[in-house]
């Protein structure tokens, strides 16, 4: 056989759940790739032809391309479809249209207003891009566009509830609080049905009102999906349940009580269970027991209620960078939320300079009535950049002691003096390594939440699969293994692909050749380092986790998209033949109307 590419001598993991013990590596195998497919997996060396490219994977892990099940690449995949930051870290399939926001059915300006402020992506770049290129207004037209678009990774999209709600009701009406008419409701149902016909993975909704919209027509309004009554959700859920597709959503981050409604919607007693993927389980500093309560609730839903529910989990430290007073989590505060609602930065800083605002902020920071994602401790936030270089690396409590001031006053003093030139960081979650290891293994969570393509200057989790593998390898090196490498790779690949029903996550003979060659020696401390990287597509720099020692090569559809020595393929993001639109399919059990009650994630 004339192979296009041979990957030789690597420890082979096909994406399935292994049965071997925690310390075992995959067997040494040789992969032969022909016409984008895995044509051979051999214990014996394969014979290359004259034009065969041979990748020596000695000492490396050869595994399926990783899957990001929660990205916000909706704009970037149009402007820069190579999605370079994800590809270089081994991600070969991304899911978009998350958190009720997709760019499918609504008009360009509507899509921009839904997306840019919520996901902290520049409207000045996104709106002209959509006005120029968005010619689709239906899920079918969306699929047709992306089947001819030069994708880097594969695309498996969701349809967003806010998107179809705006298309059915108009933007202003969709955020007015009125109940949709029967005609508007039927329009939403028809758009959802068409999306599922076109192969979309499911529907995404949103119930937390912390995120606010952009533009002039609905500035600072919560997303349209948050205005829906539960009966509207139920009608859309019924379509997903019947067709075996996925609901992606988020319970109310402040009140949290509507988690009960989600569990009851997912329930599989006397009916087919609704597949449900929820945000999120994290080891939050603000709620240190959440890492236990979330999975416990998932176990109850899946075992007692016969649901098919998974929490999304980020397997890396959750660190946010902010600039002056531009900090999204001020939206969690009651009266101090005004900073997020003021559009003009000059007016925002003028408001913060008022003496009475300090008392408001202090009262809100100390309120324990509604815990959010942020732990509200400036003593646990540090200066990353500042014109006064003596402050860099210090937290606000240290600076406050030097100035004999309160940390809250110290933060406001510095923010008012330096504005956006004050860059500061805060870690929300992921500080306790032993807890992160427990969550990496927990059957009630899915690995694959990273928010790539959003919060470009604030959040960097593009290499989340490598962070997961580092947790596993470090434990193994310490003599305290908690899961095998093969199990970890399964969680990042085949487990997600099989649950979502997309053709990815495996590299058995006959599978599409989306392959990553990982160098385990590159999984060092630098995996968690944060850097600024140029992002020409949006004429800006963005924050990234980037460690190039861990990934030797990335193949997408049998084509070498990236290798560490030579960088990206010249035609990546310019020519078709790499990533594909991956239509979702209901799995066999869903097609028969059965539930997956209590079954392990693997």
Tens digits of residue pLDDT in 252-299? 876 678 899 999 999 999 999 999 999 989 999 988 888 899 999 999
Share of the chain above pLDDT 70, in %: 95
Average the pLDDT over each of 416-425, 502-511, 588-597 and give the range with the smallest value.
588-597
Tens digits of residue pLDDT in 164-174? 999 999 999 99
Give the pLDDT mean for 170-194.
97
For residues 310 and 276, is the Cβ–Cβ distance under 8 A? Answer: yes
Give the integer Cα–Cα distance in Å for 518 and 181.
Answer: 53
Phi-psi sector, 277: left (phi>0), alpha (psi -120 to 50), beta: beta
Q: What percent helix, strand, coil does the chain show, rounded to 5?
A: 35, 20, 45
Give the integer Cα–Cα distance in Å for 587 and 3.
Answer: 32
The yes-or-no verdict on residue 359 having pLDDT over 70 is yes
Strand ranges inside 47-94, DSSP E: 53-56, 61-64, 66-68, 70-71, 91-94
Burial of 504 (C-beta count, 10 Å sphere; 0-12/13-18/19+)? buried
The yes-or-no verdict on residue 601 having pLDDT over 50 is no
pLDDT interval class at 333 (50, 70, 90):
confident
> Token pair for residue 419?
């504005």
Give the pLDDT mean for 187-191.
98
Pairing verdict, β 308-313 and 275-281:
parallel
Domains of the chain: 66-316+430-511+581-586 (3.20.20.140), 320-427 (no CATH)
Residue 329, pLDDT score: 87
pLDDT interval class at 20 (50, 70, 90):
low
Residue 588, pLDDT score: 42
| CA distances from residue 324 to 286, 384, 417, 580 in whole angstroms, order as listed | 22, 11, 9, 41
pLDDT interval class at 431 (50, 70, 90):
very high
Residue 589, pLDDT score: 42
Average pLDDT, rounded, for the chain = 93
Residue 568, pLDDT score: 98
In 3D space, the residue among 20, 117, 26 whose CA is nearest the CA of residue 63 turns out to be 26
Give the pLDDT mean for 14-27.
79
Tens digits of residue pLDDT in 366-390? 775 556 788 889 999 999 999 999 9
The yes-or-no verdict on residue 210 having pLDDT over 80 is yes
pLDDT interval class at 21 (50, 70, 90):
low
Tens digits of residue pLDDT in 452-509? 999 999 999 999 999 999 999 999 999 999 999 999 999 999 999 999 999 999 999 9
In 3D space, the residue among 497, 489, 509 whose CA is nearest the CA of residue 585 turns out to be 497
Give the pLDDT mean for 533-547.
93
Give the pLDDT mean for 533-558.
95
The yes-or-no verdict on residue 153 having pLDDT over 70 is yes
User: Running DSSP on this structure, what letter comes out for residue 271?
Assistant: S
The yes-or-no verdict on residue 356 having pLDDT over 60 is yes
Share of the chain above pLDDT 90, in %: 86
User: Running DSSP on this structure, what letter comes out for residue 407?
Assistant: H
The yes-or-no verdict on residue 6 having pLDDT over 90 is yes
Give the integer Cα–Cα distance in Å for 372 and 258.
Answer: 15
> Token pair for residue 78?
């149009």
């Amino acid at each position: 056989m004339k192979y296009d590419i041979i990957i030789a001598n690597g420890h082979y993991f096909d994406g399935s759940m292994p049965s071997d013990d925690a310390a075992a590596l995959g067997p040494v195998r040789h992969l032969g790739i022909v016409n984008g497919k895995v044509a051979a997996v051999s214990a014996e060396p394969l014979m290359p032809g004259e034009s065969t490219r041979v990748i020596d994977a000695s000492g490396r892990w050869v595994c399926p391309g990783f899957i990001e099940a929660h990205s916000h690449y909706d704009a970037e995949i149009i402007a820069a479809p190579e999605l370079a930051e994800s590809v270089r870290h081994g991600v070969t399939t991304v899911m978009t249209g998350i958190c009720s926001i997709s760019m499918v059915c609504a008009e360009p300006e509507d899509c921009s207003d839904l997306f840019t402020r919520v996901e902290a992506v520049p409207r000045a770049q996104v709106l002209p891009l959509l006005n120029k290129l968005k010619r689709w207004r239906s899920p079918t037209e969306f699929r047709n566009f992306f089947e001819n678009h030069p994708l880097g990774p594969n695309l498996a999209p969701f349809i967003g509830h806010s998107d179809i709600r705006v298309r059915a009701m108009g933007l202003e009406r969709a955020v007015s609080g009125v109940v949709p008419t029967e005609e508007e409701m039927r329009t939403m149902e028809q758009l959802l049905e068409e999306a599922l016909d076109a192969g979309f993975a499911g529907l995404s909704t949103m119930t937390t009102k912390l995120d606010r919209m952009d533009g002039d027509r609905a500035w600072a309004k919560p997303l349209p999906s948050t205005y829906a009554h539960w009966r509207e959700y139920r009608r859309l859920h019924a379509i997903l349940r019947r067709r075996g597709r996925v609901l992606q959503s988020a319970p109310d981050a402040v009140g949290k009580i509507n988690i009960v409604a989600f569990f009851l919607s997912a329930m599989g007693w006397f009916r087919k269970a609704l597949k449900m993927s929820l945000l999120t389980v994290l080891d939050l500093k603000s709620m240190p027991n959440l890492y236990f309560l979330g999975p416990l609730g998932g176990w109850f839903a899946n075992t007692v209620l016969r649901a098919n529910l998974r929490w999304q989990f980020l397997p890396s430290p959750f660190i946010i960078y902010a600039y002056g007073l531009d900090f999204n989590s001020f939206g969690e505060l009651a009266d101090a939320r005004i900073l997020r609602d003021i559009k003009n930065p000059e007016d925002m800083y003028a408001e913060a300079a008022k003496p009475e605002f300090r008392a408001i902020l202090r009262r809100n920071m100390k309120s324990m009535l509604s815990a959010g994602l942020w732990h509200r401790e400036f003593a646990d936030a540090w200066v990353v950049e500042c014109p006064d270089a003596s402050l860099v690396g210090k937290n606000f409590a240290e600076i406050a002691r030097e100035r004999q001031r309160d940390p809250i006053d110290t933060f406001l003093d510095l923010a008012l003096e330096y504005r956006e030139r004050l860059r500061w960081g805060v870690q929300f979650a992921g500080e306790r390594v032993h807890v992160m290891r427990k969550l990496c293994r927990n059957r009630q969570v899915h690995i694959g939440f990273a928010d790539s393509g959003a919060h470009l200057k604030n959040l960097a989790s593009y290499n989340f699969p490598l962070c997961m593998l580092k947790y596993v390898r470090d434990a193994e090196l310490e003599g305290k293994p908690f899961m095998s490498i093969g199990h970890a790779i399964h969680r990042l690949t085949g487990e997600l692909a099989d649950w979502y029903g997309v053709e990815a996550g495996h590299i058995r003979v006959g599978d599409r050749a989306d392959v990553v060659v990982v160098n385990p020696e590159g999984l060092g401390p630098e995996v968690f380092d944060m850097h600024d990287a140029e992002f020409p597509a949006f004429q800006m720099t963005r924050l990234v986790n980037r460690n190039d020692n861990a990934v030797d090569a990335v193949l997408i559809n049998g084509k070498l998209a990236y290798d560490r020595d030579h960088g990206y393929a010249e035609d990546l993001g310019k020519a078709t033949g790499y990533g594909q639109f991956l239509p979702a399919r209901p799995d066999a059990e869903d097609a028969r109307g059965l539930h997956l009650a209590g079954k392990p994630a693997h």
